[in-house]
Structure 1
């Protein structure tokens, strides 16, 4: 996606993610799940990585998305309850950033866990479907890309399923800020928010850049 909004320190009536527009992508699908983790953490120190935005970003990238080669933090910006974490490849050929992941605290407590809400995009974007829009299959996806001999892989995922709900590979693309589009059929959606992931690579690694956005199922 192009950019998710920056959040501010929430007041008593603020939405759990700091903005009504933001969507909970991962690791929690609801505020109740985030609060259940808080109780477990307070009583027994359960999964402390939820309090670290960088570890949450890497777990999202390697665990949920399955991009095992994207395994390092390339940049870090934390402003109160809002964080942007760059993730990249640990290879001799590159030290660049594959994506900048946007995270916010899920809840108002000081120990609220970090939640992925999207990515900030530059040379590879995912602008369709619109962030937070209602999804139906087949899903029309698209954006813009700068690159040479790119092949775009698009997946539709939900946290409760290990496998993608649908995917398309690989749409040829390239040039300077050129549009791309592909339609992806999917089935089995049951979570309230789905993740749409576009990735490209193949020059030095299977995944060299990626972008994510969030769509709603109802």
Structure 2
């Protein structure tokens, strides 16, 4: 089996993009806390902070959250770490899905309602604070990598994906973020397509990494003795 060469530069670029977008996601969550806290203390002055918080969420926080989640999923699927091989990766994977759900279906609608009504509630501040705390914990997981491999993890490591996968990991956010800003809402279409293609490519790599099943060749039938 020929091993596919992977450019370390492109893989490192995806790692860098994941780190930068994760820090941006966490910092914007903290910015929401800073904006909404005075609005809760002074309801009569809540119009400007709630409008700014809604704008910050749609223009910066949501796109950075999409980039962070996309690059994290791509790095797990394109390298030997995998999604379910190590406890720390599995924990990050679960937290990312929970945060995306909370941000899309809970926090963002609440911020839009706050901007319309100029009111802030404690659950909104608590939600943004929990999001920032969870992202900080995920950063620690990435550095410390605690825990061992999961008990269902196969012994053989899957090979690293080819270079084009990491190139797509950089190109997809470069297209999706400007497209979302122009559309007025997050639009990670190319990122989703890339993850689907990565899933298919990952299956192919895992099949190629499996050792061939050895079958002993059948012995040739013995030649008939010559007729006398």
Report the TM-score range of the alignment, normalised by the length of the smaller protein: under 0.3
TM-score (norm: length of structure 2): 0.23
Q: Kindly indicate which of the two structures has a greater share of residues assigned to strand.
A: 1
Q: Kindly indicate which of the two structures has a greater share of residues assigned to helix.
A: 2
Asked which structure has the greater RCO (Cα within 8 Å, sep 6+), the reply is 2
